[in-house]
């Protein structure tokens, strides 16, 4: 992608302080004695009047050179990591105020994860999408050096890669439809595949017609631009898994709702984010291939816009998806499940170890738990769910598991077809999941990211707009499988 957005800051490791950075950040446990801090005594006196609680979230610029002290409360490690990321977001504000371009992080907490999380928080907060600004107000921070001796260069490499992957997903989500059509999305995927070495196959409309992908094709009927079906594959010789992991991402490059038009303003204006599931799996593939993970992973992204053009599919239509199941379309705005149905059915040929789909699928998921996490459900066993939750907690891209009881399936029975694409006013994210279940015959998890994929207000180190939710989660999950 020809993106002029600010580059992610470069993180580099050094085993000792070069003393060259504009600012020194020192991370402390909040149990550290104030007397030992490298600041003036009057500043120590000021700190002493603070209670422990406020000290844990206190960043302080010393008079003794450009030093920023950050105190992390003793706690369970994942909480400390998240606290470090959030403190980094606050610290970035300070660094910008003084126009510091380079920082050096040293760590007095004895946990290298805290140095890495702080650096990660700085880099994530430093993201900007400036491609369409004629005056580019670049973030000032350009480099971070971690002087923590416990941190190894492989930790830094992995962190740089996942940050690049997260940025890539954010950029894709933030791109408007005026640039990022389904065809353009495929070009971006091809470019990324070339860069990091995963293979890319793009099925065009004719190929999809041959395969009977009635979901993607029907959603595309109201559009002037053709759909694409994107297949990415990373299959290294040293792959540890015999059966591949398959990722599936919703690639609706814009969702107007189709003839069941979304009201605007409000519900339509952020719908360029409806390919955030696709962006998440593309970003994950980037990181997996770039770090040459010894895992066989495939990613599928069905892509189209959803529009009410003159040939658009209409409520009442009956369509046939890739596995031959018929669907009564009662709402053209429930389009995600139709394109995912094709993709999940296509995934069956891989006889996968596990399939995970990411999709901004339902407003109901966002209504239920908001922006704080994604909604998860599916048929994979407890061990898989536990592993994924473990990764989620580590990177703070959390998920709440929803019930997936059989009875919910009753709500999508149709009078005229096998199933219908809406399930009524109750349990909307679950009935969407139950719809998808009709297309799977393998262990599977569905992750509805409608809440956290795109923010309309900044939240700590997650800025406004695309968050890249899912990239850090998947990278962590797969890293633990290597």
Catalytic residue among 337, 420, 434, 472: 337
Indicate the residue among 267 and 389 with the shorter CB distance to Zn ion: 267
Does the footprint of ligand BES cover residue 78 (CB under 6 A)?
no
Task: Select 288 or 366, whichever has its Cβ closest to ligand BES.
Answer: 366
Contact call for residue 432 and Zn ion (CB under 5 A): no
Q: Which of residues 4-63 bind Zn ion (CB under 5 A)?
A: none
And the tokens for 131? 């491609």
Among 125, 166, 345, 360, indicate the residue that binds ligand BES (CB under 6 A). Answer: 360
Strands, DSSP E only, in 23-109?
Answer: 23-29, 59-61, 67-72, 102-107
CB 171 within 8 A of CB 1: yes
Nearest by Cα to 263 from 333, 175, 367, 178? 333
Interface pick for Zn ion out of 336, 409, 428, 465 (rule CB under 5 A)? 336
The upper half-sphere exposure of residue 214, i.e. CA atoms within 13 Å in the direction of its Cβ, equals 15
Work out whether strand 419-420 and strand 399-401 pair parallel, antiparallel, or are unpaired. Answer: unpaired
Closest CA to 198 of 304, 283, 303: 283
CB-nearer residue toward Zn ion: 117 or 344: 344
Q: 262 an active-site residue?
A: yes
Q: What is the CA radius of gyration of the chain?
A: 24
* Region binding ligand BES by CB under 6 A among candidate stretches 62-70, 176-184, 194-202, 329-337: 329-337
* Subset of residues 412 to 441 that bind ligand BES, contact rule: CB under 6 A: 422, 428
Please count the CA atoms within 13 angstroms of the CA of 438 that sit on its side-chain side: 27
Q: Whose Cβ is closer to ligand BES: residue 327's or residue 422's?
A: 422
Q: Which is nearer to Zn ion, 283 or 336 (CB)?
A: 336
Active site annotation includes 191: no
Measured CA to CA, the distance from residue 312 to residue 305 in angstroms comes to: 11
Q: How far is the CB of 334 from Zn ion (least distance, A)?
A: 6
| Position 164 contacts Zn ion (CB under 5 A) | no
Residue 364 in contact with Zn ion, rule: CB under 5 A:
no
Q: Which stretch binds Zn ion (CB under 5 A): 170-178, 232-240, 250-258, 278-286?
A: 250-258
Shortest CA distance to 62 belongs to which of 116, 100, 26, 114? 26
Q: State the nearest-atom distance from the C-beta of 432 to ligand BES, in Å.
A: 7
DSSP H stretches of helix in 197-324: 205-211, 214-220, 276-290
388 in Cβ contact with 466 (< 8 Å): no
Q: Which residue has the tokens 């719809």?
A: 435
Out of 82, 188, 333, 357, point to the residue binding ligand BES (CB under 6 A): 333
Contact call for residue 378 and Zn ion (CB under 5 A): no
Separation between Cα atoms, residue 125 and residue 145, nearest integer Å = 16
Distance CA 310, CA 327 (A): 21
- Please, which of residues 265-284 interact with ligand BES by CB under 6 A? 274
> How far apart are CB 262 and ligand BES at their closest, in Å?
7
Q: Which one of 46-54, 147-155, 356-364, 399-407 is the stretch in contact with ligand BES (CB under 6 A)?
A: 356-364
Q: Which one among 21, 70, 275, 450 touches ligand BES, defined by CB under 6 A?
A: 450
Gap between the Cα atoms of 223 and 232, Å rounded: 25
Q: Which residues are catalytic?
A: 262, 337
Question: In the complex, which residues of this chain contact Zn ion (CB under 5 A)?
Answer: 252, 255, 274, 333, 335-336
């Amino acid at each position: 992608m020809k993106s002029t957005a600010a580059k992610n800051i470069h993180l580099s490791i050094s085993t000792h302080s070069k003393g060259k950075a504009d600012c020194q950040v020192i991370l402390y446990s909040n149990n550290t004695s104030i007397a030992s801090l490298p600041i003036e005594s009057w500043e120590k006196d000021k700190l002493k009047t603070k209670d422990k609680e406020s000290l844990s979230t206190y960043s302080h610029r010393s008079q003794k050179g450009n030093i920023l002290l950050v105190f992390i409360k003793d706690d369970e490690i994942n909480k400390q990591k998240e606290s470090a990321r959030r403190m980094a977001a606050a610290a970035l504000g300070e660094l910008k105020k003084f126009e510091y371009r380079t920082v050096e992080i040293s760590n007095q907490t004895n946990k290298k994860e805290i140095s890495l999380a702080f650096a990660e928080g700085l880099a994530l907060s430093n993201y900007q999408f400036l491609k369409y600004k004629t005056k580019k107000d670049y973030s000032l921070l350009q480099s971070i050096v971690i002087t923590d001796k416990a941190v190894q260069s492989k930790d830094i490499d992995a962190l740089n890669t996942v940050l690049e992957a997260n940025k890539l997903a954010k950029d894709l989500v933030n791109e408007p439809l005026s640039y990022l059509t389904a065809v353009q999305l495929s070009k971006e995927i091809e470019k990324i595949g070339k860069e990091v070495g995963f293979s890319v196959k793009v099925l065009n409309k004719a190929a999809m017609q041959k395969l009977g992908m009635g979901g993607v094709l029907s959603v595309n009927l109201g559009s002037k631009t053709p759909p694409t079906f994107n297949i990415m594959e990373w299959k290294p010789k040293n792959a540890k898994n015999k059966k591949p992991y398959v990722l599936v991402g919703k690639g609706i490059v814009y969702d107007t709702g189709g003839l069941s038009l979304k009201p605007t303003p409000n519900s339509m204006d952020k719908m360029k984010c409806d390919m955030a599931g696709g962006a998440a799996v593309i970003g994950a593939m980037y990181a997996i291939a770039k770090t040459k993970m010894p895992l066989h992973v495939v990613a599928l992204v069905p892509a189209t816009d959803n529009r009410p053009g003159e040939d658009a599919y209409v409520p009442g239509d009956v369509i046939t998806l890739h596995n031959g199941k018929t669907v009564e379309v009662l709402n053209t705005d429930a389009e995600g499940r139709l394109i995912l149905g094709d993709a999940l059915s296509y995934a069956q040929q891989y006889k996968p170890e596990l399939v995970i789909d990411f999709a901004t699928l339902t407003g109901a998921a966002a209504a239920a738990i908001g922006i704080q996490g994604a909604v998860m459900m599916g048929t994979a066993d407890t061990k898989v769910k536990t592993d994924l939750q473990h990764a989620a907690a580590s990177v703070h891209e959390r998920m709440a598991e929803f019930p997936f009881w059989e009875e919910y399936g009753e709500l999508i029975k149709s009078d005229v077809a096998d199933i219908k694409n809406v399930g009524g006013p109750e349990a909307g994210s679950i009935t969407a999941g139950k719809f998808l279940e009709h297309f799977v015959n393998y262990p599977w998890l569905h992750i509805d990211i409608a809440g956290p994929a795109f923010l309309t207000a900044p939240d700590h180190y997650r800025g406004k707009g695309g968050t890249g939710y899912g990239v850090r989660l998947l990278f962590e999950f797969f890293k633990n499988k290597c």
